[in-house]
């Protein structure tokens, strides 16, 4: 443990000598000056790096109490703002960490970005040690002032954090706006979008802050009210056409509306505005792949690889998609290279069946290009056996459809490809958007596209027939029909409808409660939640939202649970 600072130094608090700090600055001279200033204010442990990518990895691996990061990195797309945004979105910073941004210029939109990213401080170079000391002192004081709220969040007591933050907001105590924003985010995560929207609207009233208006849009999206969500985001973009979060959220809304061309445009714009953002590059590249925009897809996916394969935010699906694009271009070396990278990536997670599936996918592509077609067909059939397993998911379905669409039709037995497509289609055609993504994966095969269209129509027909039985006074028949189809197909839409209808009539129809339980068990075992479309939206990121580092919620006797209906007035 380092000793307390000597008298006469600019000590900002009694614990500063115990703090662990990270300095991110590409210029060696400026880094040396900043390091001396941090030591002068009493920081006891200091790590330094000159690159954003290295900083991201350091932050993922160890906790820091203070991070001082330069905003601009000359000659690079990366910048400190993108790093902070991404770390906040991905819950990689504990609430107690103070993040200070340093910039050579204080343009208006930089200041707005800093405020909306919940940054702890903004320093314009050249700055004095005294100013650095003041910024750190104020930020650390704020952390101490809100310690009870932040501690509840870090310990997983989300309802207790909500109650404490709401009290501070209602009593207009210090940092009331932050607490109001925290309340809104927690309500949204607790599946109370109407209450959350009310809070966001109150927060938006004084100055029409974009983050608050986007919060309202996110609440509409959570309520599946896509037209209102789109309208709310559109209004933000009218006022702030370069708001990256608004473009990001618009892409999500448009994807849910199955307007994938427009969604790609929105994601692409968000990525252009934040070129150092790994996730947005991946999202844009994945959607471009499924939309048939091969050149754009390869550019964005390879940018993602360059931004950091070692990052926890990197998705290995990117390597699989690049391999397919290289296969389409006849680039054997490119396909093999992706296979090597996937093998190295899988060494970090040897038990991952998902990564094994991806590595197998690239192996099939390499075998096809290497004229080992019999071996490729055998490996593809082995992969296809997974389609009947309970942990098979939408991503695996897209990979299989993409592989079979690239297999020469003469290799497979008659009807073999179509039978697999039907099995996948009946299981995963749960919405128009997902149906179109599956079709995009299979677009190189006209027979497969026709099968998927039939599957979508059959699932819809079963649901409609069951509802007709229920409306005619035969809910038991409807539940039995849906459950039988759900058991056979493992289709989440049919199983969810089974459970909802069975629970509604459990008091009046025999066996409905048992059938509801059966449907719920099948859902848990075989129907994983779809948190992404076309390789996007895998994470819980919320464009424009206050980024919280939440743990799994813990119920304790000391917790003060939020009431069923929260009064945010």
**Which residue matches tokens 């580092």?**
549
Q: Which structure tokens are listed for 218? A: 């996110």
Higher pLDDT, 76 or 399: 399
Cα–Cα distance between 546 and 550 in angstroms, integer? 12
Confidence tier at 553 by pLDDT (50, 70, 90): low
Q: How confident is the model at residue 10 (pLDDT cuts 50, 70, 90)?
A: low
Above 60 in pLDDT, residue 238? yes
CA distance 126 to 105: 10
State the pLDDT at residue 456: 94
Chain-centre distance for alpha carbon 128: 38
Give the 3-state secondary structure of residue 240.
coil
Q: Cβ distance 105 to 60 under 8 Å?
A: no
Report d(CA 521, CA 213) in Å as an integer: 38
Nearest to 48, CA basis, from 67, 65, 61: 67
Q: What is the pLDDT of residues 246-266, one digit of tens each?
A: 999 999 999 888 899 999 999
Round to whole Å and give the CA distance between 12 and 38.
11
pLDDT digits (tens, 9 = 90+) for 431-454: 888 898 899 999 889 999 999 999
Going by pLDDT thresholds of 50, 70 and 90, the confidence category of residue 563 is very low
Distances (CA, A) of 78 to 92, 100, 106: 18, 17, 18
Give the 3-state secondary structure of residue 55: helix
Give the pairing type, strands 98-103 and 66-70.
Answer: parallel
Give the residue-averaged pLDDT of 515-524: 90
For 105-133, how does the pLDDT look when each residue is reduced to its tens digit (9 = 90+)?
A: 655 344 444 444 556 777 888 889 999 99
Q: Is 40 exposed, middle or buried (0-12, 13-18, 19+ CB in 10 A)?
A: middle
Q: Is the pLDDT of residue 267 over 90?
A: yes
Instruction: Indicate the pLDDT class of residue 559, thresholds 50, 70 and 90.
Output: very low
| Mean pLDDT estimate for the chain | 86
Q: What percentage of the chain exceeds 90 in pLDDT?
A: 53
Percent composition of the chain: helix, strand, coil (DSSP 3-state, to 5): 65, 5, 35
Determine the Cα–Cα distance for residues 418 and 452; give it in Å rounded to an integer: 9
Q: Which tokens is 500 given?
A: 């909802």
The predicted-structure confidence for 54-104, as pLDDT tens digits, reads as follows 898 899 888 899 999 988 777 666 678 778 877 876 777 777 889 998 887
Q: What pLDDT score does 2 carry?
A: 59
- What span, in angstroms and rounded, lies between the C-alpha atoms of 358 and 364? 10
Burial class (CB in 10 A: 0-12, 13-18, 19+), 193: buried
pLDDT at res. 204? 87
- Alpha-carbon torsion angle 406, 409, 411, 414, nearest 10: 130
Asked if 12 contacts 49 with a C-beta cutoff of 8 angstroms, the reply is no
Separation CA 127–CA 543 (nearest Å): 31
What phi, psi does 97 have (nearest 5°)?
Answer: -70, 130
Pairwise CA distance, residues 231 & 237, whole Å: 10
Residues 200-216: tens digit of each pLDDT: 999 988 778 899 999 99
Radius of gyration for the alpha carbons in the chain, expressed in angstroms and rounded: 26
Residue 555 in this model has a pLDDT that exceeds 60: no
Distance CA 58, CA 49 (A): 9
Count the neighbouring beta carbons within 10 Å of the beta carbon of residue 525.
11
pLDDT of residue 199 exceeding 90: yes
**Percent of the chain, pLDDT > 70?**
87
Per-residue model confidence (pLDDT) at position 5: 54
**Residue whose C-alpha is closest to residue 166's, from 176, 158, 157, 174:** 176
The reported pLDDT for the residue numbered 308 is 76
Find the range with the poorest average confidence among 95-104, 162-171, 558-567: 558-567
Q: Is the pLDDT assigned to residue 184 strictly greater than 90? A: yes
Kindly report, residue by residue over 280-323, the tens digit of the pLDDT: 899 999 999 999 999 999 999 999 998 878 776 788 999 999 99
Structure tokens at 529: 């939640």
Is the pLDDT reported for residue 530 higher than 70? no
Q: How far apart are CA 196 and CA 204, in angstroms?
A: 12
């Amino acid at each position: 443990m380092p000793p307390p600072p000597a008298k006469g130094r600019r000590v900002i608090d009694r614990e500063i000598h115990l703090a662990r700090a990270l300095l991110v600055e590409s210029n060696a001279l400026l880094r040396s000056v900043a390091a001396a200033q941090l030591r002068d204010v009493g920081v006891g442990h200091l790590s330094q790096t000159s690159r954003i990518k290295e900083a991201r990895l350091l932050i993922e691996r160890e906790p820091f109490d203070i991070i001082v990061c330069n905003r601009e990195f000359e000659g690079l797309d990366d910048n400190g703002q993108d790093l902070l945004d991404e770390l906040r979105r991905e819950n990689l910073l504990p609430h107690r960490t103070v993040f200070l941004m340093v910039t050579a210029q204080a343009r208006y939109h930089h200041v707005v970005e800093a405020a909306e990213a919940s940054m702890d401080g903004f320093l314009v170079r050249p700055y004095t040690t005294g100013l650095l000391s003041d910024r750190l002192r104020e930020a650390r004081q704020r952390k101490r002032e809100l310690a009870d709220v932040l501690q509840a969040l870090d310990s997983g007591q989300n309802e207790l954090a909500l109650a404490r933050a709401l009290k501070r907001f209602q009593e207009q105590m210090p940092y009331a706006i932050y607490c109001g924003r925290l309340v809104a985010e927690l309500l949204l995560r607790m599946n109370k979008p109407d209450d959350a929207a009310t809070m966001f609207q109150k927060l938006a009233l004084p100055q029409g802050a974009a983050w608050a208006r986007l919060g309202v849009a996110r609440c509409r999206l959570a309520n599946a009210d896509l037209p209102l969500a789109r309208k709310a985001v559109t209004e933000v973009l009218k006022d702030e056409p370069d708001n990256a979060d608004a473009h990001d959220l618009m892409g999500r809304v448009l994807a849910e509306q199955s307007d994938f061309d427009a969604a790609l445009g929105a994601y692409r714009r968000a990525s252009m505005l934040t070129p150092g953002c790994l996730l947005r590059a991946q999202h844009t590249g994945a959607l471009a792949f499924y939309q048939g925009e091969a050149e754009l897809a390869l550019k964005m996916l390879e940018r993602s690889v360059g931004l950091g394969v070692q990052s926890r935010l990197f998705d290995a699906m990117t390597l699989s998609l690049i391999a397919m694009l290289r296969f389409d271009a006849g680039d054997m070396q490119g396909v093999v290279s992706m296979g090597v990278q996937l093998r190295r990536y899988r060494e970090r997670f040897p038990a991952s069946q998902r990564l094994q599936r991806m590595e197998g996918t690239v192996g099939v592509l390499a075998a096809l290009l290497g004229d080992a077609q019999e071996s490729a067909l055998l490996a593809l059939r082995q992969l296809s056996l997974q389609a009947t397993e309970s942990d098979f998911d939408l991503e695996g379905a897209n990979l299989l459809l993409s592989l079979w669409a690239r297999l020469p039709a003469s290799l497979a037995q008659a009807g073999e490809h179509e039978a697999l497509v039907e099995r996948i289609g009946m299981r995963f055609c749960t919405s128009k958007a997902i149906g179109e993504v599956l079709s995009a994966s299979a677009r190189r095969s006209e027979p497969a596209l026709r099968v998927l269209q039939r599957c979508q129509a059959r699932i819809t027909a079963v649901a409609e027939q069951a509802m007709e039985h229920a409306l005619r006074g035969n809910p038991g028949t409807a539940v039995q029909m849906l459950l039988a189809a759900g058991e056979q197909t493992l289709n989440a839409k049919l199983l969810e409808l089974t459970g909802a209808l069975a629970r509604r009539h459990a008091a009046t129809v025999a066996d409905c409660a048992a059938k509801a339980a059966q449907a719920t068990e099948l859902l848990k075992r075989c129907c994983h939640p779809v948190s992404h479309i076309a390789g996007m939206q895998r994470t819980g990121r919320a464009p424009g939202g206050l980024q919280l580092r939440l743990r799994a919620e813990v119920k304790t006797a000391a917790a003060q649970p939020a009431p069923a209906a929260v009064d945010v007035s």
